[in-house]
Amino acid sequence: MIGIPELLMLSIFVVPVLTVIVVSVVLLVAMLRRLRRQSREHGYPTLKAYLRAAPRTDAEKRDATDLALKGLVICLLGLILPPLLVVGLFPLFYGARKVAYASMGLGLADDAIR
């Protein structure tokens, strides 16, 4: 039989862990929905095509920079709450990659093809 001290100890450890997991999943779903909406707004057929393409317009460059900075902040929060580190790596990688492509002028090669 579980007594009051055991229930209290269980709630002290289980509730924070479940909260971190739920917050991480909600954050990831919200980020993916926002990225899908942005990909449609910029005229890409899929989210994958949007994330792989070099930014063509200033709005896309701002979105890429915003994505990289959000990923960096989430990764820094991941130093405190480790599950957030995994969530933060996704936007940090794709955002930084798009910013690097834009800074190297690789968007010009994509414009010539289209």
Question: pLDDT truncated to tens, each residue of the chain (114 aa)?
Answer: 666 777 777 778 888 888 888 888 888 899 899 999 999 999 999 999 998 888 888 889 999 999 999 889 888 888 887 777 877 888 889 899 988 888 887 665 554 444
- Is the pTM above the cut of 0.75? no
Its domain, for residue 58, covers: 4-113
Give the total number of structural domains in the chain.
Answer: 1
Among the listed residues 18, 12, 9, the one whose alpha carbon sits nearest the alpha carbon of residue 81: 18
For CA atoms 70, 101, 55, 44, the dihedral sign is negative
